[in-house]
Structure 1
């Protein structure tokens, strides 16, 4: 085999330079063919295959757009304040503080400290899931025969664990995630019903309100009833922008949201160095 020796393996690896696949990062991001922002502002451009994951550290003010290219992606998202991993996405507070079980344009992703991690500034799908979290090793093994990260049917938690480790985080640091594009409805009796895809081309855009560690796993929703592991590519684009300001309608949309923005602004002002 050509790769049976060190020199052969090196030559084989170098021969792959310049080749591409459907799902991979574009480096530099500026080479993305149709950026959604001003020239030179794109900082992250990637297509994440079904059953795969990605991660990145984003600066405050960065906007992150996720797009379900074919209608069967499901983006399981976890956020941390960069440098302060104990401040992380709190799905319970995100739901209860805003009096709403569904994520859509204008909703805030909150930390357990009552501060805003990200704002949903655009959304073409609506009613995304903040209740169910992601799939687990045990559940995927029961359903598909395996759920390990290296298997054909990896669980979301296993992939998010790998992404966390690559950012100096441990499994105990993983909170429940939110899920975009595959939706769930809450019945009058509190039961949860899977209602399916937001459709091919659906997208959400998040604005980072703090410096963030972003973890994403693209795997089937845990309530997806289909017997086959079904997950299609997810497009991830991020670009430099500005954080939400006090005159922005998102800041003042609700009393609870305004308080969360004030908590965030006060905290960030106190930690800034003159």
Structure 2
């Protein structure tokens, strides 16, 4: 931290700020994204459009073009990526966790699962998954819950709640708290027991990944915070790696398109909507 004498004048503050250029910390965006030091296998550096490491207790957001692939990596085994998706130019069409579960007859997210809006259309498809520990049922943490558990849940605290961080990400995209539906999360698992109880199954370990494909232009909101059912007393959440790179949307004949009759219908709904708008 700079001393008061260094930043006491506008010139001193300017010189101090400029001296920070090029400095790196463990969790921050990489700009330009193409300078990311280790592109995924088969991905050209120039095709990377978003590269960031999100620390525990932080959030990020981005607008991605249709066909872009978004790879999330749990670097140390304690990340929990809470996700919301919105149609980029029509934010009233947004992720509907209930329909994502109900329409596809499956509450457990994994490869070939589709993330649906309440319009019966596909916002994103899950094309790869090496974790298998996710949650489409619980949502993210709240101010009241984190205050009760950790003593504080405000965004600037040491234990920010996921919904409070989503509010900040939403505001930066012209959205309000009323626009925030229940989220889904990756890398910390939840299962439903035979008696209906909710069981927290935790992480599959470090370096597991999930890759999503945007099937429309989408606004992505991510909050990396502990899962609300995590039983640990301490606020525990490690770094999340976020990479996005150019790709192609799912097309007829792709195994993801044809994985289920319901999914195929959702893709057809999406294609019809985009065709009518002159996008596809």
Q: Shorter-normalised TM-score: what interval?
A: over 0.9
Q: Does 1:186 align with 2:197?
A: no
Q: Report Cα offsets for 1:40-73 as digits up to 9, x if no partner.
A: 1000000000000000000000000000000000
Q: 1:83 aligns with which of 67, 83, 89?
A: 89
Tell whether 2:15 aligns with 1:11. yes
Query: Does the Cα contact within 8 Å between 2:36 and 2:45 map onto a contact in 1?
Result: no
2:242 corresponds to 1:236: yes
> Which one of the candidate residues 131, 138, 143 is aligned to 1:132?
138
* 1:110 corresponds to 2:116: yes
- The partner residue of 2:267 within 238, 261, 265 is 261
The residue that corresponds to 1:217 in the other structure is 223
Hey, what does 1:64 align to over in structure 2? 70
Per-residue deviation, 1:5? 2.0
Corresponding residue of 1:160: 166
Encode CA deviations 1:113-146: one digit per residue, 9 max, x unaligned: 0000000000001141000000000000000000
SS at match of 1:102: coil
Q: CA deviation at 1:226?
A: 0.3
The separation in 2 between residues aligned to 1:252 and 1:273, in whole angstroms, is: 22
SS of the counterpart of 1:125? coil
In 2: Cα distance, 1:273 partner to 1:49 partner = 36
1:174 aligns with 2:176: no
Corresponding residue SS for 1:143: helix
SS at 1:260 equivalent: helix
Alignment of 1:23-42 (within 5 A): 23-36=27-40, 37-42=43-48
Distance in 2 separating the partners of 1:195 and 1:100: 17
Cα distance between partner residues in 2 of 1:127 and 1:3: 47
Secondary structure at 2:173's aligned position in 1? coil
**Distance in 2 between the 1:119 and 1:47 partners?**
22
Q: Take 2:124 and 2:212, find their aligned partners in 1: how far apart are those partners?
A: 6
Find runs of 4+ consecutive structure 1 residues off by over 4 angstroms.
Answer: none
2: CA distance, partners of 1:101 / 1:250: 17
Unaligned 5+ segments in structure 1 are: none
Secondary structure (helix, strand or coil) at the match of 2:226 reads: coil
Q: TM-score, normalised by structure 1?
A: 0.98
Give 1:88 shift.
0.2
The CA distance in 2 between the partners of 1:168 and 1:161, in whole Å, is: 11
